[in-house]
């Protein structure tokens, strides 16, 4: 049975609901938190499966032209977003924080000093 994601416009909480294909669009969906019928379906991201070889080729093409990224935090953020999308894996929230800070113009050194525990608990052996 498919799971559908919804946002409640009354209490603003997210919830999932199981509906059969026959129920979808005909059954009234109510918030599981407050019981309101003022809900909106959330559309999930669509993932396209790529072979490992295809992902590596995409990453390789993203590495070309990396010269000078040390001096341009916004360009580095753009490149990191592309690489994150190509990785095909869920990245930790810290990744988004770093990319957002780069996009705002902070240098990697400024980010390191502003968020000193960034990457704490990550072993080199885990990569």
Each domain of the chain, given as residue ranges in start order, spans 3-42, 52-120
Q: How far are the Cα atoms of 14, 48, 88, 95, 105 from residue 52, in angstroms, in the given order? A: 34, 12, 10, 22, 33
* pLDDT at residue 36 in the model: 96
* pLDDT at residue 84 in the model: 76
CATH code at 3-42: 2.20.28
Please identify every stretch of the chain with a pLDDT value under 50, giving residue numbers as ranges.
Answer: 124-127
Enumerate residues 6+ apart whose C-beta is below 8 A from 100: 77
* pLDDT at residue 82 in the model: 78
* pLDDT at residue 83 in the model: 76
Quote the pTM value. Answer: 0.42
């Amino acid at each position: 049975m498919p799971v559908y994601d919804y946002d409640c416009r009354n209490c603003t909480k997210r919830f999932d609901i199981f509906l059969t294909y026959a129920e979808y669009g005909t059954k009234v969906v109510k918030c599981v938190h407050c019981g309101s019928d003022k809900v909106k379906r959330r559309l999930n991201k669509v993932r396209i499966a790529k072979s490992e070889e295809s992902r590596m080729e995409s990453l390789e093409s993203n590495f070309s032209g990396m010269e000078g990224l040390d001096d341009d935090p916004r360009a580095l953020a753009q490149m990191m977003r592309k690489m994150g999308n190509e990785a095909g894996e869920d990245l930790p929230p810290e990744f988004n924080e770093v990319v957002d800070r780069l996009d705002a113009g902070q240098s990697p050194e400024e980010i390191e000093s502003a968020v000193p525990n960034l990457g704490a608990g990550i072993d080199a052996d885990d990569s």
